[in-house]
Amino acid sequence: MSKSPLKTSDFDYDLPPERIAQTPVEPRHNARLLVMWRDRPDLEHARFWDIGRYLAPGDLLVVNETRVIPARIWARKPSGGRVELLLLKKMNEEAWEALVGGKRIRPFLSLRVEGGPTAEVVADLGGSRRLIRFSEPIEPYLPHIGLMPLPPYIHEPLRDPERYQTVFARQPGSAAAPTAGLHFTPELIEHLKQQGIRFAGLILHIGLDTFAPVTEEDPTQHHIHTEWCELPPETARLVNETKRAGKRVVAVGTTSVRALETAARHGAPGDWVAPFAGPTDLFILPGFEFRVVDALVTNFHLPRSTLLMLVSAFAGRERILEVYREAIRLNYRFYSFGDAMLIL
């Protein structure tokens, strides 16, 4: 098998720490928007509220309607020692894959969740991951005992937990927010709809692996995280209708890209996508052929991350890194609470 010409170091860049946004902009639609075209060198600088200037009637914005769960909880061992649990993925009604913080968290250890049910460590999944089985479903307790799992690079406490939810959020299941959607407000959505721009929803539940850097020298050897997604029939219909009409499908966030291009694997002849529900392991690297997505709304991503690789596949690695350097020079805010890009 031939060695991949890609190297993970090809997706590295230097970001001054002060460029990492610690708090969100208010109102949400006042974030800055960097607009780039893939077929010409132009860049434009606007506010997110102005995004409609770059869209046309009949274009379809596809948003991720997942909701972040307050997944950081605490438990006590029989010895009294405190254990932090970060719920990552629901395996069945009682069992979750979780990251654990604490010593000697081994299989068969009993835990009592503070303010919640008892639990048992069922399996060691490697590193700090464990399979935890609760004595009853944990979800009803989470609004009362859980904290929002902010990304590790955000050090400021969040005064309003809803600020780490999109206005589209409706189905709980994510350990992180689909941050490109954080810039939308009800006022902006109504403004865009009046312009003839349509919206459609899908679900992709995001795991914390989304923040994990690729550590392998050859990114094709990286084991991509699997995430659950659902493209409902109505969204599939709107996507196919939009494509047939020669209008653009605009993915809001890399998670929407991943779900749409996964659904493209299941499209019937004459259609671009088919309704789909299940896990996706799609890893989008430069060289990937996009079948559905025509434009992308996204934030600025971490060096060496699978998300930076995805936007590089969409717009070209050298071009993206050049635009990132310009964004740093112009004091754009990076990462989850940062500013946005529109890639056309």
Domain of 130: which CATH number?
2.40.10.240
Examine the domain organization and report whether 163 and 245 are in the same domain: yes
Residues 102 and 215 reside in one and the same domain: no
Of the candidates 6, 97, 90, 3, the residue with the CA atom closest to the CA atom of residue 288: 6
pLDDT at 3: 56
Q: Are residues 127 and 257 in the same domain?
A: no
Identify the domain boundary among 145, 174, 207: 145
Query: Is the domain of 163 the same as that of 262?
Result: yes
Q: Any idea what the CATH number is for the domain that residue 275 is in?
A: 3.40.1780.10
Domain annotation covers residue 51 = yes
Domain closes at, from 145, 174, 189: 145
One domain for residues 16 and 133: no
77 with 207, same domain: the answer is no
Could you tell me the pTM of the whole model?
Answer: 0.93
Same-domain pairing of 133 and 216: no
CB 338 within 8 A of CB 30: no
Residue by residue, pLDDT tens for the chain (344 residues) are: 445 689 999 999 999 999 999 999 999 999 999 999 999 999 999 999 999 999 999 999 999 999 999 999 999 999 999 999 999 888 999 999 999 998 899 999 999 999 999 999 999 999 889 999 999 999 999 999 999 888 889 998 888 989 999 999 999 999 899 999 999 999 999 999 999 999 999 999 998 776 677 889 999 898 887 899 999 999 999 999 999 999 999 999 999 999 999 999 988 888 999 999 999 999 999 999 999 999 999 999 999 999 999 999 999 999 999 999 999 999 999 999 999 999 99
* Cβ–Cβ under 8 Å, residues 138 and 117: yes
In a domain, 288, yes or no: yes
pLDDT (0 to 100) of residue 211: 63
Cβ(122)–Cβ(131) below 8 Å: yes
Per the structure, how many domains does the chain have? 2
Distance CA 235, CA 275 (A): 8
Q: How far is CA 158 from CA 38, 145, 151, 166, 308, in A?
A: 36, 16, 11, 15, 26
Does residue 182 share a domain with residue 139?
A: no
Question: 321 lies in a domain?
Answer: yes
Residue 151 lies in a domain: no
Tell me which of 145, 177, 207 is where a domain ends: 145
**Helices assigned H by DSSP within the chain:** 142-145, 186-194, 233-244, 254-263, 306-315, 317-329
Domain that holds residue 191: 8-68+157-343
In a domain, 25, yes or no: yes
Model confidence pLDDT, tens digit, residues 171-229: 999 989 999 999 999 999 999 999 999 999 999 999 877 667 788 999 989 888 789 99
Residue 1 lies in a domain: no
User: Are the beta carbons of 297 and 112 closer than 8 angstroms?
Assistant: no
Phi, psi angles (nearest 5°) of residue 194 = -65, -25
152 is a domain residue? no
Q: With respect to residue 3, please indicate whether it lies within any of the assigned structural domains.
A: no
Which two three-digit tokens encode residue 18? Answer: 């002060």
Q: Is there a single domain that holds both residue 125 and residue 62?
A: no
170 and 42 together in one domain: yes
Same domain, 173 and 140: no
Could you tell me if 100 and 244 lie in one domain?
A: no
